[in-house]
């Protein structure tokens, strides 16, 4: 149960510049440690992997585990040499993949 992810990538940059990328996704990140009212374990359901690609090349990825809070926020930097597209993907425990992309103009 995740809504459309939010990503923030600068629209323009100069070649070789280090840019900051921010991403945020709405997700419960159910840890698998909690119990419901009847005392049954609530099954784990988290986003276990996050990846970022630039023009098909991987730039950043992260594996996530049970202790990550709800609505995970990721911020990282990347050096850009050419114009192109960032593609982001969040992989859920149930196999669904949430995707977003953003373009950057490099001069």
Partner 1 sequence: MAAAAAVALFAYSGSANAEPVDEKLVIDGEIEMITKTAAPEGHPLDEVLSGWLFRTKETRALEADSFQNPGLLGVEQGEAIWNTVEGSEGKSCASCHGDAAESMKDVGANYPKWDASANRPINIELQINKCREERMGAEAYKFDKGGQKPLTAYIKHQSLGTPVKLDLSQGGLQEWWEKGKELYYTRTGQLNLSCASCHEANSGKYIRADHLSQGQANGFPTYRLKQGKLISIHNRFRGCIRDTRAEYPAAFSDELMALEVYVTWRGTGLSVETPAVRQ
Tell me the site size for partner 1, rule CB under 8 A. Answer: 13
User: Any contact of residue 101 with partner 1 (CB under 8 A)?
Assistant: no
15, 22, 42, 99: which one contacts partner 1 (CB under 8 A)? 22
Find out whether 2 and 98 touch, Cβ atoms under 8 Å: yes
Taking the C-alpha atoms of residue 29 and residue 47, their distance in angstroms, rounded to an integer, is: 7
User: Taking Cα atoms as reference points, which of 103, 52, 100 lies closest to residue 78?
Assistant: 52
| Sites for partner 1 among residues 35-74 (CB under 8 A) | 69-71, 73
CB of 100 to partner 1, least distance (A): 13
CB-nearer residue toward partner 1: 58 or 73: 73
User: Taking Cα atoms as reference points, which of 48, 52, 7 lies closest to residue 25?
Assistant: 7
> How does DSSP classify residue 30?
B
Please say whether the dihedral angle defined by the alpha carbons of residues 51, 58, 101 and 23, taken in this order, is positive or negative.
positive
User: Any contact of residue 102 with partner 1 (CB under 8 A)?
Assistant: no
What are the residues binding partner 1 (CB under 8 A)?
3-4, 6, 8, 22, 24, 26, 28, 69-71, 73, 75
């Amino acid at each position: 149960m995740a809504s459309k992810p939010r990503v923030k990538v600068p629209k323009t940059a100069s070649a070789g510049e280090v840019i900051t990328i921010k991403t945020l996704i709405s997700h419960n990140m159910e840890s698998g440690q909690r119990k419901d009212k009847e005392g049954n374990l609530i099954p784990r359901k988290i986003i276990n992997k996050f990846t970022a690609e630039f023009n098909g090349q991987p730039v950043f990825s992260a594996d996530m585990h049970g202790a990550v809070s709800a609505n995970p926020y990721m911020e990282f930097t990347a050096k850009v040499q050419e114009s192109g597209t960032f593609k982001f993907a969040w992989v859920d425990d149930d196999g669904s993949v949430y995707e977003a992309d953003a373009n950057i103009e490099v001069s």
